[in-house]
Amino acid sequence: MTISDLRNAATASGAPSASGTAAPDAAAAVGRSGKSNTGKPKTQRTWRSYSVYLGLALIFAYCLAPFYWMLVSSLRRTADIFDNTLLPAPFSLENYTKVFDGSTMFGQALLNSLIVAGTTTVFALLLGVFAAYAISRLNFRFKSMILGVIIATSMFPGISVVVPLLRLFTDLGWINTYQAMIVPSLSFAIPLAVWNLTTFMKALPFDLEEAAMIDGCTKWQAFRRVLLPLAAPGVFTTAILTFIHSWNEFIIALSMINDPKIQTATVAISKFTGATEFQAPFGEQMAAGVIVTVPLVIMVLIFQRRIVEGLTAGASK
Which whole-number Å values give the CA distances from 235 to 210, 254, 317, in the listed order? 22, 30, 18
CA distance 69 to 72: 5
The rounded distance, in Å, linking the Cα atoms of 307 and 299 is 10
How far is it, in rounded angstroms, from Cα 124 to Cα 137?
19
Question: Can you say how many angstroms the Cα of residue 96 is from the centroid of all Cα atoms in its chain?
Answer: 27
Is 24 or 213 the better-scoring residue by pLDDT?
Answer: 213
Q: What is the pLDDT of residue 116?
A: 96
pLDDT (tens digit per residue) in 112-136: 999 999 999 999 999 999 999 999 8
Specify burial of residue 156 (Cβ count, 10 A radius: 0-12, 13-18, 19+).
exposed
pLDDT at 38 over 80: no
Q: What residues have CB less than 8 Å from 214, skipping those under 6 apart?
A: none
Query: Which CATH architecture describes the domain 105-271?
Result: Orthogonal Bundle (1.10)
pLDDT of residue 60 exceeding 60: yes
pLDDT above 90 covers a percentage of the chain that reads: 37
What is the model's pLDDT at position 34? 47
Residue among 196, 214, 220 nearest 138 (CA): 220
Q: What is the CA radius of gyration of the chain?
A: 32
Q: Parse the chain into domains and list their residue ranges.
A: 105-271
- Band (pLDDT 50/70/90 cuts) for residue 19 is very low
pLDDT in tens, 270-297: 988 876 676 788 889 999 999 999 888 8
d(CA 278, CA 171): 39
Look at residue 6 in the predicted model and tell me its pLDDT: 42
Q: How does pLDDT run across 212-237, given as a tens digit for each residue?
A: 888 888 888 888 888 888 888 888 88
Q: Are 249 and 265 in contact (CB under 8 A)?
A: no
Q: What is the residue-averaged pLDDT of the chain?
A: 82
CA atoms in the 13 A half-sphere facing the CB of 106: 22
Task: Give the amino acid at 31.
Answer: G
Give the 3-state secondary structure of residue 142.
coil
Closest of 237, 226, 229 to residue 199, by C-alpha: 237
In sequence order, the 6+-apart residues with CB closer than 8 A to the CB of 82 are: none
Pairwise CA distance, residues 210 & 231, whole Å: 16
* pLDDT tens for each residue of 88-117: 888 889 899 989 887 778 999 999 999 999
User: In angstroms, rounded to a whole number, what is the distance separating the alpha carbons of residues 148 and 229?
Assistant: 27
Any idea of the CA torsion for 49, 54, 55, 59, to the nearest 10 degrees? 140
Angstrom distance (rounded) from CA 223 to CA 24: 66
Q: Kindly report, residue by residue over 172-181, the tens digit of the pLDDT.
A: 999 999 999 9
